[in-house]
């Protein structure tokens, strides 16, 4: 039976999942990506996994990543009787709760049915912490049912403690987003599809939001004057915006093709109007800019580029990945620009100074190598709960 989002939200349709599964909840596409390494580890250890999500893009991304190897459903709405019905049906062996997916109804239902909970990759953002702190007495009670929190950073651990979580139940293990692997693709084939000449320098503008494409396209003549052969790939974050971005490209008078169309070798831009292929495109990029950062979205994950050996540029609005960007900057693997003028200058500099660009990418590769033990630290903490 095909999963119906609203029927599953209301538990009219319950997931076809084996009882006793390890239940992982990850809200959306980015969170699904962050737990993928852990899910693969669980499967390697012959554990049965059920994943719940909230968004359609998260569901689709999980289906692409895991196929039939795990069961997937939408999370019920956080009403006590709906959560109780869902959890009784699923009867999981434990719940791994990703980042800040703190749902009081879910927590209460797990407690009543004796389901152990471990918070993984827990992050308390700058934006959300004041709200949590003001209502800390409530959260102290709700979160007391969580056996262990595995925090991304010491700052997150301190914020959890300030919210009333027992310090003994908090361990800092690092960000699971570091536990990423480069995509299993043939870069030469990817290159052939995107650039049949195999000679053009490639600029990727990734995970863009409304108004960001217009800002970047206004700078394109500067870079084209410097590198007439430059090919720009624009990857909107949300599929519902593909048509709007195509319209914008036409209005700007730019020569462009869509991802599935045949390339002439003369287009200025390729609009990537497909989902789930961004990481493969990083393997052929010369320069990477990550969106959600010129406008106040909070930025997007730079590690998917870094694991492909690509340093990144980003705007200043990266609060959702603040610690990661700070660490990458300190290692010389990321450049943060404050405005469009700085972005134009930074990309121009990298295009004309290949040695500096090579150093940026090299530092990204070294940075990822230094972070590759996050999954092992997390697994060490989770394994006793799996065994019990």
Q: What is the pLDDT along the chain (388 residues), one digit of tens a residue?
A: 577 899 999 999 999 998 999 999 999 888 998 899 899 999 999 999 999 999 998 999 899 889 999 999 999 999 989 999 999 999 999 999 999 999 999 999 999 999 999 999 999 988 899 999 999 999 999 999 999 999 999 999 999 999 999 999 999 998 888 887 888 899 999 999 999 998 999 999 999 999 999 999 999 999 999 999 999 999 999 999 999 999 999 999 999 999 989 888 889 999 999 988 999 999 999 999 999 999 999 999 999 999 999 999 999 999 888 888 999 999 999 999 999 999 999 999 999 999 999 999 999 999 998 777 889 999 999 999 998 7
pLDDT for res 263: 87
CATH 3.40.50.2000 in the chain is located at: 187-370
Residue 36 and residue 64: Cα distance in Å, rounded? Answer: 11
| Sheet (strand 202-208) strand order | 256-258, 269-271, 231-236, 202-208, 287-290, 312-314, 334-336
Q: Is 99 a catalytic residue?
A: no
User: Which one is catalytic: 31, 212, 213, 267?
Assistant: 31
Q: What is the three-class DSSP state of 311?
A: coil
- Residue 288: partners with Cβ closer than 8 Å, 6 or more residues away: 204, 206, 282, 305, 310, 311, 312, 313
pLDDT for res 295: 96
Q: What is the three-class DSSP state of 170?
A: strand
CATH topology of domain 5-179+372-387: Rossmann fold (3.40.50)
Q: How far apart are the first and last CA of the chain?
A: 33
Map tokens 């990481």 to a residue: 279
Beta-bridged to residue 63, according to DSSP, are none
Nearest to 272 by CA among 193, 210, 330: 193
Give Dmax (Cα) for the chain: 65
Map tokens 């692997």 to a residue: 181
pLDDT for res 1: 58
Domain 187-370 annotated CATH 3.20.20.140: no
- Residue 241: partners with Cβ closer than 8 Å, 6 or more residues away: 209, 210
- Residue 79: partners with Cβ closer than 8 Å, 6 or more residues away: 105
Q: What angle do CA 212, 218, 220 make, to 5 degrees?
A: 105
Nearest to 23 by CA among 82, 80, 79, 73: 73
Residue 273 and residue 329: Cα distance in Å, rounded? Answer: 30
Phi/psi zone of residue 207: left (φ > 0), alpha (ψ -120 to 50 degrees), beta?
Answer: left
CA 170 to chain centre: 23
CATH 3.40.50.11720 in the chain is located at: 5-179+372-387
CB 52 within 8 A of CB 74: yes
């Amino acid at each position: 039976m095909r999963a119906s989002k609203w029927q599953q939200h209301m538990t009219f349709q319950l997931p076809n999942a084996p009882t006793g599964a390890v239940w992982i909840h990850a809200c959306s596409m980015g969170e699904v990506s962050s737990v993928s390494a852990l899910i693969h580890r669980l499967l390697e250890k012959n554990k049965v996994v059920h994943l719940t999500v909230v968004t359609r893009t998260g569901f689709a991304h999980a289906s692409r990543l895991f196929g039939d190897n795990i069961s997937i459903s939408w999370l019920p709405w956080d009403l006590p009787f709906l959560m109780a019905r869902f959890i009784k049906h699923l009867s999981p062996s434990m719940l791994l709760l990703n980042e800040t997916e703190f749902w009081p109804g879910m927590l209460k239902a797990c407690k009543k049915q004796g389901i152990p909970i471990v918070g993984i990759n827990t992050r308390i953002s700058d934006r959300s912490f004041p709200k949590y702190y003001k209502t800390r007495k409530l959260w102290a009670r709700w979160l007391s049912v969580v056996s262990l929190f595995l925090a991304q950073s010491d700052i997150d651990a301190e914020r959890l403690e300030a919210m009333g979580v027992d310090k003994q139940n908090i361990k800092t293990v690092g960000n699971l987003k570091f536990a990423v692997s480069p995509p299993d693709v043939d870069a030469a084939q990817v290159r052939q599809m995107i650039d049949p000449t195999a000679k053009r320098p490639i600029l990727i503008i990734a995970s863009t939001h409304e108004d960001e494409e217009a800002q970047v396209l206004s700078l394109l003549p500067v870079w084209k004057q410097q590198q007439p052969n430059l090919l720009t790939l624009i990857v909107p974050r949300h599929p519902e915006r593909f048509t709007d971005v195509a319209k914008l490209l036409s209005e700007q008078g730019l020569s462009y093709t869509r991802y599935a169309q045949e390339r002439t070798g003369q287009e200025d831009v390729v609009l990537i109007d497909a989902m789930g292929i961004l990481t493969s495109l990083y393997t052929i990029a010369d320069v990477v800019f990550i969106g959600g950062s010129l406008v106040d979205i909070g930025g997007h994950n730079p590690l998917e580029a870094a694991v492909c050996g690509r340093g990144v540029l980003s705007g200043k609005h990266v609060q959702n990945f603040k610690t990661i960007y700070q660490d990458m900057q300190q290692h010389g693997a990321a450049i943060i620009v404050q405005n469009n003028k700085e972005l134009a200058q930074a990309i121009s500099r990298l295009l004309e100074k290949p040695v500096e660009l090579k150093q940026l990418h090299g530092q990204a590769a070294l940075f990822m190598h230094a972070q590759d033990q996050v999954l092992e630290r997390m697994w060490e903490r989770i394994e006793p709960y799996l065994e019990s």
